[in-house]
Structure 1
Amino acid sequence: MKKILTIALLIFSCAFANAQIFSGERILNNENFDQQKWSWGYFLGLNSYDFNFDYINYNPNPVTGQDFRVEKRVGFNVGLVGNLKLNNNLDLRLEPGVNFNTRGYQALKADANTFREVSSTYVHIPLLLKFNANRLNNFRPFVVGGVSTSINLSSNESNPDDNSAGQFRMTTNSYYYEIGFGIDLYLYYFKLSPSIRGVFAINDELIRDADPNSLYTGNVDKMSSRAVFLNFTFQ
């Protein structure tokens, strides 16, 4: 999924850059857009979430080389953008949104059916710094990084049932750092900014089962989410 998203963005970026740099086009769209102190917009996008595990005692399944299998699926992002211009090459951005995703999770050290489907609905709130290169015609690359927090509305944190009853539980609140890159494309009526971003949880998100020897949680020292976002921002 990560490779597909990266290749798609690079192909799109290269095609646009070639058209802008080598076509001889000199008409600037939205010439004064970046002079605004404040600007607003919205984004639509795709996501792919994964789990990263740290173990108390590393003793993986001899066949697979791991204790757990995570089945990654493609989810959907939607949200708003508030942008504050700090100077010609630096912006401060707030991008509150909602992310929908489902992951498959399975313990591999048992013959029983240990598969769990983990559906998550995140209210995701990143605070980001956007570092912009100088504009070239209607093309401007950027890198972005910052921190974020999210509320998992499907966490099951307060559910008294655990994996013994078929309930996989995670913390409701999580904290992340994010880093990515993208391109501002100045179109006739608006600015379109495709970007790709890696999102990495800082805290442990796993709620342990009551059984200290649980196949799902007993040997896990830390479980944290990581994700790839492909967003298209309209301003």
Structure 2
Amino acid sequence: MKKFLFLLLFSPILLAQEGMFSKDPIINKENWNKQRVHWGYYLGFNSLDFKTDYLSVTEDIEVGATTGFNVGLIGNLRLAEYFDLRFEPGLVITQRNLTFPNITDTGDRLREVKSTYIFFPLLLKYSALRTGNVRPYLLGGVSTALNLSSNADSPDDNFNNRFRMTKWTNFYEVGFGIDLYLEYFIFSPSIRGVFSMNDELIRDNDPNSPWTGNVHEMKTRGFFINFSFH
């Protein structure tokens, strides 16, 4: 499956490589960037964990990150020659496995935190000068996300094997990528860091809970690898 996905995503680039990086390449999509508005979609992968701060010194909660999946749409508004404003709503599915070292009972030490986010990012894209059919770029901005798997409304907590998080979270995002102008479409791989700006943990009902009692803040952080098509 991984080999198939690699071939699916990168075969257009490999096939076009000779023409794209030759001395006098054929210029594809020459007037593409003059459009006021254009649309696209993306799919990709993510790896998220938690940054945890504590009220008192203790052993760190161990976070086991897994590889998740991203998919979404792209709306691009051209502001100037090198600047674009982007709205990229998407679905982010991920899982983090938390191990609490201070809990002796094996069954209670592990919490599998499955999260399904709907992201609403608003990003500013700065593109460098286009060279042939290649144009690198930087991007950054803010986003808000709805966690459909938060368990925020559940009366149960970790004493009932229920880990709870806030429904809404705000993030800031920074990243870079490259636009590759192929004959029929624009292919754009990118990598992006995402960092939560607010505490996402909902504490257990017991203030002395061994899971949440000593946690000051728990914030999501990680990265996305996206493959965009326009």
User: TM-score scaled to structure 1, two decimals?
Assistant: 0.88
* RMSD, matched Cα: 1.8
SS of 2:153's partner is coil
| Alpha-carbon distance in structure 1 between the residues aligned to 2:51 and 2:188 | 29
Residue 68 of structure 2 corresponds to residue 80 of structure 1: no
The list of structure 1 runs, each at least 4 consecutive aligned residues, that deviate by more than 4 angstroms after superposition, is 18-22
| Alpha-carbon distance in structure 2 between the residues aligned to 1:106 and 1:20 | 51
Counterpart among 134, 142, 167 of residue 139 in structure 1: 134
**Aligned-pair distance for 1:212?**
1.2
| Alpha-carbon distance in structure 2 between the residues aligned to 1:205 and 1:72 | 17
| Alpha-carbon distance in structure 1 between the residues aligned to 2:58 and 2:67 | 30
| Alpha-carbon distance in structure 2 between the residues aligned to 1:181 and 1:130 | 9
Partner of 1:181: 176
Residue 213 of structure 2 corresponds to residue 218 of structure 1: yes
| Alpha-carbon distance in structure 1 between the residues aligned to 2:173 and 2:19 | 29
- Shift of the 101–212 alpha-carbon distance from structure 1 to 2, 3 Å rule, reads same
| Per-residue CA distance 1:169-196 (angstroms, 9 max, x = gap) | 0000000000000000000000011000
Q: How many residues align?
A: 217
Calculate percent identity across the aligned residue pairs. 52
Residue 102 of structure 2 corresponds to residue 124 of structure 1: no
Counterpart code for 1:55: Y
Asked if 2 retains the 8 angstrom alpha-carbon contact of 1:53 and 1:224, the reply is yes
User: Structure 1: where are the runs of 5+ without partners?
Assistant: 1-7, 61-65
Partner of 1:47: 46
Counterpart code for 1:194: P
User: TM-score scaled to structure 2, two decimals?
Assistant: 0.90
Counterpart code for 1:59: T
Partner of 1:29: 28
Counterpart code for 2:64: E
Partner of 1:151: 146
